[in-house]
């Protein structure tokens, strides 16, 4: 079936189970260059592809972030991590008399590890009015996508396994280490919505038997990469929060759990004192 009018498209999306069908129809109509393209996009969305993959972008912290097929879609709840990271950096600025804890002055060193599209790093750098921004991911599709977002923001993207991807000169100099690790327990991947299960790579979701395996590896090395006063921020679920905080503390950081009920977000912050 070819959908033509906004009402027809809305009806088709609604029938396919899209909760925000009217808004999605509006976005698809605005994005399509031709009726043929619009029809194809509506078909993709009605077939279950995440809206962000159909459009090629996601809105995150008020920015338009390119999201390629096969790359994790930045979630709205993760904006909480960015807000907290920016608040911590501003507090550090005040406490250090104009500089961040490392003496980073107006140009903090930000690392967005497990960066996916690079949304966190780009949003954080924008919130802080500039940064020495580095992003890294192990998945080549994510690295290519992150380059589309991070390089225009003045940052660099590295490919590889966790800290192994980073330039050695960043060791001990990172002011903000933002890491949205995969944290879904392996046994729960099958329970995720089809949009995640079918369109996001397993490496972006699977956190091992208890969902905390990647965080364990991050926490074991984070202190060595952070500057004095630098912070690790990592998203987790409410259920995993206590265990995640213990893991961060075991890495030698002062751990704190913060939540935002409205966004349904839980973040563990680890401070290198």
Q: Which residues would be at the binding site for ligand SAM (CB under 6 A)?
A: 72, 74, 78, 114-117, 119-120, 137-139, 142, 161-162, 180, 182, 203-204, 214
As measured in angstroms, the least distance from the Cβ of 265 to ligand SAM is: 11
Rounded to a whole number of angstroms, the minimum distance from the CB of residue 240 to ligand SAM is 13
Q: Least distance in Å: CB of 125 to ligand SAM?
A: 14
Pick from 125, 106, 132: nearest CA to 65: 125
Rounded to a whole number of angstroms, the minimum distance from the CB of residue 204 to ligand SAM is 4
Which is it for strands 132-137 and 57-60: parallel, antiparallel or unpaired?
unpaired
User: Closer to ligand SAM at the Cβ: 100 or 115?
Assistant: 115
Taking the complex as a whole, the smallest distance from the CB of residue 100 to ligand SAM amounts, in Å, to: 22
In the beta sheet, which residues pair with residue 232? Answer: 177, 270
C-alpha–C-alpha distance, residues 37 and 202, integer Å: 29
CA dihedral over 164, 237, 216, 88, signed as positive or negative: positive
Q: Which is nearer to ligand SAM, 26 or 77 (CB)?
A: 77
Q: Minimal CB distance to ligand SAM: which residue? A: 116
Beta bridge partners of 136: 113, 158
Nearer to ligand SAM, 42 or 178 (CB): 178
Nearer to ligand SAM, 42 or 163 (CB): 163
CA 87, CA 97: separation in Å to the nearest integer? 15
CB-nearer residue toward ligand SAM: 132 or 137:
137
Nearer to ligand SAM by C-beta: 25 or 179? 179
Give min distance, CB of 105 to ligand SAM, in A: 26
Q: Are 70 and 141 in contact (CB under 8 A)?
A: yes
Minimum distance of ligand SAM from residue 76's CB (angstroms): 11
Burial code of 213-241, b = ≥16 C-beta within 10 A, e = fewer? bbbbbbbebbbebbbebbbbbbbbbeebb
How many Å apart are CA 49 and CA 271, to the nearest integer? Answer: 39
- Residue (16 or 159) nearer to ligand SAM, CB: 159
Check if the beta carbon of residue 215 is closer than 8 Å to that of residue 160.
Answer: no
């Amino acid at each position: 079936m070819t959908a033509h009018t906004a009402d027809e498209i809305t009806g088709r999306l609604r029938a396919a189970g899209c909760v925000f069908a009217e808004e999605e129809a509006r976005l698809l109509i605005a994005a399509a260059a031709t009726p043929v393209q619009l029809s194809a996009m509506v078909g993709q969305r009605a077939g279950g592809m995440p809206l962000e993959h159909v459009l090629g972008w996601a809105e995150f912290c008020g920015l338009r972030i390119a999201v390629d097929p096969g790359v994790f879609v930045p979630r709205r709840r993760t904006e909480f991590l960015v807000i907290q990271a920016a608040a911590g950096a501003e507090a550090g600025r005040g406490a250090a008399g104009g500089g961040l804890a490392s003496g980073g002055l107006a140009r903090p060193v930000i690392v967005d590890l497990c960066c996916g599209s690079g949304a966190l790093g780009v949003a954080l750098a924008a919130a802080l009015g500039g940064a020495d921004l580095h992003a890294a991911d192990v998945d080549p599709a994510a690295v290519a996508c992150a380059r589309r977002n991070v390089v225009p923001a003045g940052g660099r993207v590295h490919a590889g396994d966790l800290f192994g991807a980073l330039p050695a000169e960043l060791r001990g100099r990172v002011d903000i280490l933002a890491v949205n690790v995969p944290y879904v327990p392996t046994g729960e991947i099958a329970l995720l919505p089809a949009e995640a299960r079918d369109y996001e790579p397993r490496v972006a979701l699977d956190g091992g038997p208890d969902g905390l395996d990647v965080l364990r590896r991050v926490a074991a090395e984070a202190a060595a990469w952070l500057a004095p006063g630098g912070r690790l921020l990592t998203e987790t679920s409410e259920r995993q929060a206590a265990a995640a905080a213990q893991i961060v503390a075991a890495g030698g950081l002062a751990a704190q759990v913060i939540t935002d009920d409205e966004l349904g977000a839980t973040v563990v912050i680890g401070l290198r004192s």
